[in-house]
Amino acid sequence: MPDDGQSLNLRPDFNKAGGLVPVIAQDYETGEILMLAFMNEESYLKTIETGEVHYWSRSRKELWHKGATSGHVQKVKDIYLDCDKDAVLVKIQQVGNVACHTGKRSCFHYRHTKGDQYELI
């Protein structure tokens, strides 16, 4: 384990899950979790290059510049890797205050109540 503050040459480990890593998008001010999606190496590099979050769309199988159509882009404030380098956390400013395609602010809008029951929040 290197010392705190040490500079390290790192990228996410894209080999663990078929070229993809899960990415958590968190509001940089409120700490609210807005969505979870995936990046491949191309989308990771595009995110760093542009300062706006790019994912890999597993359904469309293409580079996904989040908000390119809706205008709800995600401005990168900070990027973190976890201890195993197989997960990414991006702290973002969510333009338009809406991350979800349903029009809600966060994608996490089903809250568990009991058993198999959830309520929509």
Q: Can you tell me which residue has the tokens 């882009």?
A: 73
User: To the nearest whole angstrom, how small is the minimum distance from the Cβ of residue 62 to a second copy?
Assistant: 17
Site for a second copy, residues 93 to 112, rule: CB under 8 A? 100-102, 104, 107-112
Closer by beta carbon to a second copy, 4 or else 69: 4
Distance separating alpha carbons of residues 30 and 93, to the nearest angstrom: 10
Strands 88-94 and 110-114: unpaired
Nearest to 85 by CA among 119, 39, 31, 46: 39
Q: Does residue 63 belong to the site contacting a second copy (CB under 8 A)?
A: no
Task: Please select the residue that binds a second copy; options are 13, 16, 68, 70, rule is CB under 8 A.
Answer: 16
Closer by beta carbon to a second copy, 33 or else 63: 33
Q: Does residue 5 belong to the site contacting a second copy (CB under 8 A)?
A: yes
Element (H, E) at 119: strand 117-120
What is the four-CA torsion angle of 109, 54, 59, 85, rounded to 10 degrees?
-80
- Per CB under 8 A, residues contacting a second copy are 1-11, 16-17, 22, 24, 26, 30-33, 35-36, 48, 58, 78-85, 87, 89, 100-102, 104, 107-113, 115-121
